[in-house]
């Protein structure tokens, strides 16, 4: 197999340009790339090297599985101080662009590792996953909670380990579960509830209905309308705490198309990330 330039990722034709940098002999496709790499700060070089390693692993997984691999992994990047910790609109654009650039007949593997994020961002990714004409498999080595679960529900197949976890998808408003907000109205006389909380419960009610309908739509072609409606109600109605773990056997019992056995190379990919102060799933925002 031909080598790739560490800086630009292009295949190196012929000998390429070899340079000794920080005691390592590194090959580049051109003098330009060698100069650019040498001019980077230490963290910039770290990023280039790690991204090259990551891309090579992704390419291996794609070859092994005959798919296009897309990642949505919330862990700390080794070259960054800040954690990336929830599903944002930037993530949405990244995933959507990648799915759109994949030909309609190419199967997609989406490697998912997240404790959740913005509802809109997660919904957009879920729609793109559902709308891709070829098969989409979501691979969950550890967890995909909340918005991550929503995305997984859109997939044709979920590959997880026996102890990987999904979670409920009930919306959270201002860190409060929608189901609990609604129940406030039944528990207290209306005069003793603040205007803000009355408005929040109204939003909570709309939020639950919206996510419920959305989940129903995600599931109905996979398990039929009745079953989809029941499962959507269960996952969004606030019957469990937001950090309840839904393991493989439970997901299977729900009728989801789950398989176990995350490809080994996916774990190699995780080696290229750091553990960060990522919020634990119990702090998951939806």
Q: Shortest gap between Cβ of 29 and Zn ion (angstroms)?
A: 3
DSSP of 87-135: B-HHHHHHHHHHHHTS-TTS-EEEEEEBS-B-HHHHHHHHHHHHH-SS-
Using the CB atoms, write b or e for 109-126: b if 16+ within 10 Å: bbbbbbbbbbbebbbbbb
Using the CB atoms, write b or e for 64-76: b if 16+ within 10 Å: eeebbbbbbbbbb
> Which one, 45 or 285, has the nearer CB to Zn ion?
45
Task: Please choose, out of 2-10, 86-94, 144-152, 155-163, the segment that lies near Zn ion by the rule CB under 5 A.
Answer: 2-10
Q: Are strands 172-173 and 176-177 parallel, antiparallel or unpaired?
A: antiparallel
Task: Please choose, out of 27-35, 207-215, 225-233, 250-258, the segment that lies near Zn ion by the rule CB under 5 A.
Answer: 27-35
- Closest by Cα among 134, 89, 95, 135 to 112: 95
Task: Please choose, out of 28-36, 82-90, 195-203, 255-263, the segment that lies near Zn ion by the rule CB under 5 A.
Answer: 28-36
Q: Does 7 bind Zn ion (CB under 5 A)?
A: yes
Task: Please choose, out of 26-34, 145-153, 167-175, 223-231, the segment that lies near Zn ion by the rule CB under 5 A.
Answer: 26-34
Query: Among 26, 33, 70, 200, which residue interacts with Zn ion (rule: CB under 5 A)?
Result: 33
- Could you give the string, one character per residue 72-101, with x where binding to Zn ion holds by CB under 5 A and - elsewhere? ------------------------------
Q: Shortest gap between Cβ of 44 and Zn ion (angstroms)?
A: 15
Q: Does 49 bind Zn ion (CB under 5 A)?
A: no
Q: What residues line the site for Zn ion (CB under 5 A)?
A: 5, 7-8, 29, 33
């Amino acid at each position: 197999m031909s080598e790739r330039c560490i800086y630009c990722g292009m295949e190196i034709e012929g000998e390429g340009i070899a340079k000794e940098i920080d005691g390592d002999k590194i090959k580049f496709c051109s003098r330009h790339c060698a100069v650019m790499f040498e001019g980077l700060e230490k963290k910039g070089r770290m990023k280039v090297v790690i991204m090259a390693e990551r891309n090579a692993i992704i390419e291996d997984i794609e070859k092994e599985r005959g798919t296009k691999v897309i990642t949505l992994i919330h862990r700390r990047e080794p070259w960054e101080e800040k954690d990336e910790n929830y599903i944002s609109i930037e993530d949405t654009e990244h995933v959507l662009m990648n799915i759109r650039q994949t030909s309609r007949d190419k199967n997609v593997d989406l490697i998912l590792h997240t404790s959740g994020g913005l509802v809109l961002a997660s919904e957009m990714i879920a729609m793109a996953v559902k709308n891709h004409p070829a098969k989409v498999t979501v691979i969950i080595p550890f967890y995909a909670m909340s918005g991550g679960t929503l995305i997984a529900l859109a997939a044709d197949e979920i590959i997880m380990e026996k102890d990987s976890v999904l979670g409920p998808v009930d919306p959270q408003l201002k860190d409060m579960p929608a189901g609990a907000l609604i129940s406030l109205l039944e528990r207290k006389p209306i005069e003793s509830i603040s205007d803000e909380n009355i408005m929040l419960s109204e939003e909570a009610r709309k939020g639950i209905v919206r996510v419920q309908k959305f989940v129903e739509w995600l599931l109905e072609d996979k398990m039929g309308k009745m079953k989809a409606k029941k499962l959507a109600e269960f996952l969004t109605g606030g019957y469990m705490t937001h950090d309840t773990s839904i393991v493989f056997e439970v997901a299977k019992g729900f009728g989801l198309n789950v398989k176990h056995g995350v490809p080994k190379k996916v774990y190699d990919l995780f080696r290229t990330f750091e553990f960060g102060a990522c919020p634990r799933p119990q702090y998951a925002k939806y």
